[in-house]
Copies of this chain bind each other. A is one copy, B any other.
Amino acid sequence: MKIGMIGLGRMGRNMADRIKGAGHGVVGYDLSPESGRDVDSLEALVKALDAPRAIWVMVPAGKPIEETIDRLHDLLEPGDLVIDGGNTRFTQDQEHAKRLAERGIGLVDVGTSNGIWGKEKGYALMAGGSDEDYQRILPILEALKPEGENGLVHAGGIGAGHYVKMVHNGIEYGMMQALAEGYAIMQASPLVKNPDAVAASWREGSVIKSWLLDLMVKALQEDPGLEHIAGKADESGEAKWMVQDALELGVPVPVTTASLYARQDSQIDDPVTMKVVSALRAEFGGHPIAKE
């Protein structure tokens, strides 16, 4: 099978290589001439593929995916298929599908996990779309997934792939924060001699053994006590979308929410909430107030 690949950043390049490694053809395009692209325009990409085409898009959520969908809407033909492998919000998938369907173009949304480890070990893939479209790209999905029976699921209709990837990331936020809280209290407690060694010991025989624990131990080996890392963490959107949808569904997700708030807090230098609390304490109790 031969597909197009739009976006040859770290993720797209690695995925293209893994697909080619499985014996398929890939025509790659990227905005940047330094990307090692095979063609230098979307028009050329479309020409380089025989109809019906399948084009995997691996570009950032937001404006880049919106623009790419718009361009493909104009350039592709009825019967062609777009695979969005990025982190698009599931609500957008449904709009993209509607727009592409105006011209008879299909869409499959695929959530992918495993980051920089996927090229070698395979990517966990979660796909949304019709059974027919899913079957059509199955050879590519099989090439990308890890060995074994797991690592690939057809999660539901349009949007379901990105939806369950969003949920996966929400779980990831909670697990990371759980590990972080445990490590932080060990570092603060005078009782614990060597928190890094304790974390390492948990890698076998414990209930919390996990890849994230392994990675935490690796990070602690590279930088004991994490002394050289700043206490700030970004958020990437998925946990936020998950909480917003959970609110609609009436499913309380306090751990996902708390994990997200912890990251947001770490990005705020001078929280307005604490200005209010500090001002109130001064008003009723004469408590001293820090001035800026």
Contacts and interface: CB of A to CB of B under 8 A. Distances in A.
Interface of A: 10, 90, 113-118, 121-126, 128, 145-148, 150-157, 159-160, 163-164, 167-189, 191-194, 197-198, 200-213, 215-216, 218-220, 223, 226-234, 240, 242-287, 289-292
Given A175-B179, A226-B275, A254-B258, 19 more contacts: A113-B202, A114-B206, A126-B198, A150-B203, A174-B182, A174-B255, A177-B255, A180-B275, A188-B251, A207-B212, A215-B284, A223-B279, A228-B292, A229-B278, A231-B272, A231-B278, A243-B247, A254-B261, A255-B255
A204 B148 contact: yes
A192 B247 CA distance: 17
Contact of A156 (B128, B193, B277): B193
B115 A207 contact: yes
A216 B254 contact: no
A148 to B, nearest CB: 5
Nearest to A278: B233
Contact of A275 (B167, B231, B246, B274): B231
6 nearest A-B residue pairs (beta carbon):
A174-B178, A210-B210, A124-B205, A153-B201, A230-B290, A180-B276
B115 A286 contact: yes
Contact of A212 (B154, B208, B216, B246): B208
Contacts of A292: 227-230
A172 to B, nearest CB: 5
A286 B114 contact: no
B291 A228 contact: yes
Nearest to A164: B198
For the residues of A in contact with B, the DSSP-based class is helix
B290 A226 contact: no
Contacts of A280: 176, 179-180, 212, 215-216, 219
B177 A164 contact: no
A211 B210 CA distance: 6
Contacts of A204: 122, 124, 145-148, 150-151
A95 to B, nearest CB: 14
10 contacts: A168-B208, A176-B277, A176-B281, A180-B275, A187-B272, A188-B250, A219-B279, A230-B270, A262-B273, A263-B274
Nearest to A200: B150
Nearest to A210: B210
